[in-house]
Amino acid sequence: MAITYRRLLAATLVAGLTLLAAWTPARGAEPAPPAPAATAPNIIFVLVDDLAWNLVQYLPQVQRLQSEGATFTNYTVTDSLCCPSRSSILTGQFPHDTGVFTNGGADGGFAVFKGRGNENRTFATALQGKGYRTGFLGKYLNGYLPADTQGGSLPYVPPGWSEWYVAGNGYSEYNYDLNENHTVVHYGNQPADYLTNVLSRKGKDFIQRSAAANTPFLLEVSTFAPHSPFTPANQDLDDFPGLTAPRTAAYDRLPTNPPSWLAGNGPLTAQEKSTLDTNFRKRAQSVQAVDRLIGNLRAQLTTSGIADNTYVVFSSDNGFHMGEYRLTGGKQTAFDTDVRVPLVVAGPGVVPGSQRAEIVQNIDLAPTFQRIGAADVGTHVDGRNLLPLAQGDPAPNWRTGALIEHHGPNQAADDPDAQDRRNGTPVTYEALRTATYTYVEYSNGEREYYDRTVDPHQLNNIAAGLPATRLAALHDALTAYVGCHSHSACWTAGHVPA
């Protein structure tokens, strides 16, 4: 395993080479705290919106990242919905601990996240406390508005972030506002205003300035792409002519014994199939700017001479189904199309071209970032540090199950993720996903069980045929997982029946 940052820091201190760098903040930015040793690794986290595994084939920079780093093949989100997933990413906690289960209302959105004090215990606050420059670009949490002062005198910037360039409704990629370090700046409809490209430019600038100041940093770049309305950059509008949505084994098929929220869906119409094909092509086009963004950020790392000391992490907040299970475009289900998404990590000590099959989740990102920066991980954090896995360490006692929690149906008219029956409107559920099966319990008493070793596309729900003892064991394991509220308790609960 590569020398850890703690060892590097100790060696630097012993050698008397500790360097403190002064940094001159951009206009309106918060002043930086004293910088830690120059050997502290940097972190770039690129988080995209609604990207499923089937789009990675159109992302050569992500494929390059895979060849140079580690790919986690059993990485899932805690809920296939934007705000709950992003809340888990920021805090390292399950929805039952963040209190964020939806995009808005009494049990979700930015207001609930902030109101429950979650903003004071994110990986940003932890790393800023260790002297890191922290930057956030793009999409934050549903319900956040750039001009909102939250009772203060200036547009609100959450604690923990040294620099902040964040939109509210940036889904269209044009005609949006950014809160730029407490100042609202409007962008129009010119090619230079395309949001993903703006984030790319600001990200490069943040890296360049931080490197010049010899200051370690964490930068999260959170794109709105490829979320609907799937708006590509002008230069990508003609890409992939004739591309259609994948026709997997699950395309336009219902599982046997489907849950009631799904059972009434008839075959996809010709018009629905045509729309799915058009939208899939637009999604592939819209991620071309994301791919260039990744390439630009990595090129700036090289130019600034810090590429070898920077971790680059790529992931998505949730997946996206497009025609599978007779559902038009959407998410929110416990199917792998929605909950299993890419996670790729490259950087110091990471094994190039490696794959890790351990059960990992988005709750593991915050403690990973904190450990990279030598920050403490509180006992309230449900997740675990993934860096040893990325660096090739064995993990014989790793968790065996992931927990997924969802409140539904989600049909609020002002929600950008509102869905109807054709998109999929599952009722409230909790689920276990292991390397071999998916088990779901709905609030109406219905259950699903898919043995993915023989049924990888999840087309045969065999819950009704399981022995009573097996169902009882699964129920008890799921109940214990939903009831965990600490680092150790959730680790124990994550070891579920095989």
- Catalytic residue annotation: 82
Quickly tell me which residue has 């972190």 as its tokens: 43
Closest CA to 289 of 414, 386, 155, 192: 192
Q: 215: closest CA among 206, 228, 224? A: 206
Dist. CA 191–CA 440, nearest whole Å: 45
In a 10 Å sphere around its CB, with 0-12 CB exposed, 13-18 middle and 19+ buried, how is residue 473 labelled? middle
497, with CB counted inside 10 A (0-12, 13-18, 19+), is middle
Residue positions counted in the chain? 498
Task: Report the 3 state secondary structure along 81-107.
Answer: CHHHHHHHHHHCCCHHHHCCCECCHHH
Q: 478 vs 230, 293, 431, 461, CA distance in Å?
A: 36, 40, 7, 18
Which residue from 188, 144, 151 is spatially nearest to 166, judged by alpha carbons? Answer: 144
The tokens 């494929």 sit on which residue? 63
Classify residue 32 by its DSSP letter. Answer: P
Residues 468, 450: Cα–Cα separation, whole Å: 16
CA-CA distance, 254 to 262, in Å (whole number)? 8
Please check whether residue 334 is in contact with residue 440, taking contact to mean a CB–CB distance below 8 angstroms.
yes
Is the Cβ–Cβ distance between 445 and 358 less than 8 Å? no
Cα dist. 124→90, 119, 298, 410 in Å?
8, 9, 21, 30
**CB–CB of 401/477 below 8 Å?**
yes
Cis peptide bond upstream of 34, omega within 30: no
Report how far residue 402's alpha carbon sits from residue 52's, in angstroms, rounded to the nearest whole number.
18
- Rounded Cα distance, 492 and 277, in Å: 43
